[in-house]
Structure 1
């Protein structure tokens, strides 16, 4: 059985936290995790999330990835 895919959320200071409305369980695939983020990134930004890290189990796949629009 493979590890689930999860997001780690960080604020502007780089501190990890769990925002309200974030999923309490992981996603079965990387695609599912990324699709969810594509739909929810604005809500997460409003909740104080500055950047995210994608993880599979304990392994970080990529990040930090800013949620702020390019300027």
Structure 2
């Protein structure tokens, strides 16, 4: 059985996908969302301005803005 893959795609302020930082792959949506909740400040400090959760390559949630101010 193949398990679904959940991963965050991170974009810069201009909407371009970032090569780094990289999201780990998750086997469920809850773990992916928990990771973003714990990591978003660090991601924003590294240049990520937005995050989109992908499920097996398809966008699964609305784009979330990562703002620290």
TM-score range, shorter chain: 0.7 to 0.9
Q: Which runs of 5+ in 2 are unaligned?
A: none
Aligned to 1:46: 45
Larger strand proportion of the pair: 1
TM-score computed with the length of structure 1 as normaliser: 0.84
Q: After TM superposition, what 4+ stretches of structure 1 lie above 3 angstroms from structure 2? A: none
Distance in 2 of aligned mates of 1:38 and 1:54: 12
Cα offset for 1:58? Answer: 1.2
The alignment of Structure 1 onto Structure 2 pairs a total of residues equal to 68
SS in 1 for 2:27: coil
Q: Which runs of 5+ in 1 are unaligned?
A: none
TM-score computed with the length of structure 2 as normaliser: 0.87
For the aligned residue pairs, the C-alpha RMSD in angstroms reads 1.6
5 Å-filtered alignment, 1:1-71, equals 1-20=2-21, 22-23=22-23, 25-69=24-68
Distance in 2 of aligned mates of 1:30 and 1:39: 14
Cα offset for 1:62? Answer: 1.4
